[in-house]
Amino acid sequence: MENKLRLTQALIVEGKYDKIKLANIVDAFIIETNGFSLFKDKKKLSFIRKLAKERGIIILTDSDHAGFMIRNYISSSVPKEQIINVYIPDIYGKEKRKVQHSKEGKLGVEGMTKEVLLTAFEKAGITAAQIECTDPVNSVDFYDLGLMGGDGSKQKRTELCKALDLPEFLSTSSLISCINHMMTKQEFYDLMQKTQTVKN
C-alpha cells in the first residue's frame, strides 16, 4: 500500500470530488465547504475556527475566482498564523466527469494529478510526514462501544460529539477520522469511560 502524506492540520477543500481526490493522496481530516454554502453555514465556520485553533488548517481551493473568494472568506475568519495556504497552478482543461469547461476554463483541485498536488503541498512547506497510526480507532471500536449498530447509537455519537466539542453534522466516518487525528485509541477509550457512553 502506497504511503500517503500525513497531515496533522485539517484540510479544507471546496467539494466532495476534491475530497475524494485528496483522500487518495493524503491522510488527513478533510472538510468540504460545499462551495459558497459555507458563507451561510455558521456552524461549519465555527468548527473550522475550532480546528484552526487546535491543530491549524490547510486551505486548498480551486485557482479560479470562486476558489479565491472561499479562501479569502475563511482567511478573514481565522488568525493568519493558524492557516497554511496551498495553491494549485492554473492549468486549463476540463475534468472528465464534466460536460463543459468551467467558467474560467481552469482545472480544479479534482482535475490535478497526484504529482501536481504533492508539489503544491511541497511549495507550501508541507513535506512527507508519513507517520503510521499503528492502532487507529475504527468501526469495530465503534460497534464495541455501542456507537454503531445498536439501539441509541446515534444518541451516543451525538453525546460523543458534544464531549469533543464537535458539530453534530459529522458523519460516522468523519467522526472516526477526527478522533484519530485528535487522540490515541487509549485516550479515546478513557474519554468514553469518563463520559459514560461505553456500551454495558
Which CATH architecture does the domain made up of 5-123 adopt?
3-Layer(aba) Sandwich (3.40)
Long-range contacts, 180-185 (Cβ 8 Å, 24+): 180/133, 180/136, 180/137, 181/8, 181/10, 181/28, 181/29, 181/55, 182/54, 184/135, 185/135, 185/136, 185/137, 185/141
Annotate 17-62 with DSSP letters as a single string: HHHHHHHTTEES-EEE--GGGGGG-HHHHHHHHHHHHHT-EEE---
CA pair distance 133, 176, nearest whole angstrom: 13
Q: Among candidates 185, 197, 195, 190, which has minimal Cα distance to 156?
A: 197
- Residue 20, all three cell numbers: 475524494
Per-residue pLDDT of the chain (200 residues; tens, 9 = 90+): 467 888 989 999 999 999 999 999 998 999 999 999 999 999 999 999 999 999 999 999 998 899 999 999 999 999 999 999 999 988 887 766 665 666 777 888 999 999 999 999 988 888 755 445 568 899 999 999 999 998 999 999 988 888 887 767 678 888 887 788 778 899 899 989 887 644 44
Q: Where in the chain is the domain with CATH 3.40.1360.10?
A: 5-123
CA distances from 74 to 66, 110, 126, 151, 194 (A): 13, 20, 20, 38, 34
Cell triple for residue 117? 498536488
| Distance from C-alpha of 82 to C-alpha of 58, rounded to nearest angstrom | 9
